[in-house]
Amino acid sequence: MTRPAVTADAYARWRATTLGRLTERAETDVVFGLTGPLGGKRVLDVGTGDGTYALEAVTRGARVTAVDAVQGMLDAARARAEARGTSIVLRKGRAEELPFDGGAFDLVLAVTVLCFVPAASTAVREMARVLAPGGRLVLGELGRYSLWSAERRVRGWLGSETWRSAHFWSRRALTGLARDARLRVADVRGAIFFPPIVLAARVMAPLDPLLTRAHAPGAAFLALAADKPRG
């Protein structure tokens, strides 16, 4: 779950750009479109980074715990929560070895985590372990077949530490991870069908919800929802 060259400052700078704002909104919409109502639910945000999804879950009424392997990320998430006057329980830990009892959460979120985790299957099994029976896992990952992934691969070949070791996911591969963890896949949705170009993003972003509902190919971001059987 360690992100070698990604910092909290980098996240903040990205959000401050037009492209960052549009992509984060599209990703957040598709992720929380799969969570269902969160009022009173126990939510774990794995690989929280600087807390974007944890904070969003709090605004939707959840009781949120967030975990990350990088102390600097936890510090940034705490600062953002305090600035908003909200409360999040923050823990240091790895996705492959979550520091929680089995069945402790009603919902587990993990967004752009598996792309940087060497043992993705182990991480997903851990997420399934800490889910209560009937609970839901929502994964958000970087899509394998998009202009965004192509551009990031090139950056990796040119020496980017972040993208050199990143893994991009297909719908089938994400589904396989969930099923291997004995979860029942409920849905897989895509988002960000526009290219990584500001002008194109401004024009095409309003079409994203339509393309998401149509399960169109070429999404730069994939979100999967899978449920833990009750018995």
CB count in 10 Å sphere of residue 173? 15
Q: What is the pTM of this model?
A: 0.93
Q: What is the dihedral of CA 201, 206, 209, 215, to 10 degrees?
A: -50
Dist CA 108 CA 123 (whole Å)? 12
Asked if the structure places residue 127 within a domain, the reply is yes
- Write out the H or E segment, with its range, that includes residue 148: helix 147-157
Asked if the structure places residue 118 within a domain, the reply is yes
Dist CA 1 CA 3 (whole Å)? 6
Instruction: Name which residue leads in pLDDT, 148 or 159.
Output: 148
Q: Which residues contact 217 (CB under 8 A, 6 or more apart)?
A: 145, 190
Domain span holding position 54: 8-226
For the chain, how many structural domains are there in total? Answer: 1
SS3 content of the chain, % helix, strand, coil (to 5): 45, 25, 30
Dist CA 17 CA 123 (whole Å)? 31
Asked if the structure places residue 219 within a domain, the reply is yes
Tokens coding 122: 């182990």
* pLDDT for residue 151: 87
* pLDDT for residue 223: 98
Asked if the structure places residue 221 within a domain, the reply is yes
Dist CA 67 CA 192 (whole Å)? 26
* pLDDT for residue 3: 45
pLDDT-derived band at 1 (thresholds 50, 70, 90) equals: very low
Q: Which of 57, 104, 60 is nearest to 77 (CA)?
A: 57
Burial class (CB in 10 A: 0-12, 13-18, 19+), 136: buried
Assign residue 210 the CATH number of its domain: 3.40.50.150
pLDDT-derived band at 84 (thresholds 50, 70, 90) equals: very high
Residue owning tokens 């929560």: 81
pLDDT-derived band at 163 (thresholds 50, 70, 90) equals: confident
φ, ψ dihedrals at 49, nearest 5°: 60, -130
Asked if the structure places residue 231 within a domain, the reply is no
Tens-place pLDDT, residues 28-44: 999 999 999 999 999 99
22, 209 contact by CB (below 8 A) = no
Asked if the structure places residue 69 within a domain, the reply is yes
Asked if the structure places residue 164 within a domain, the reply is yes
SS3 of 225, please? strand
* pLDDT for residue 4: 44
24, 55 contact by CB (below 8 A) = no
Dist CA 35 CA 57 (whole Å)? 10
**Which amino acid, 18?**
T
Asked if the structure places residue 208 within a domain, the reply is yes
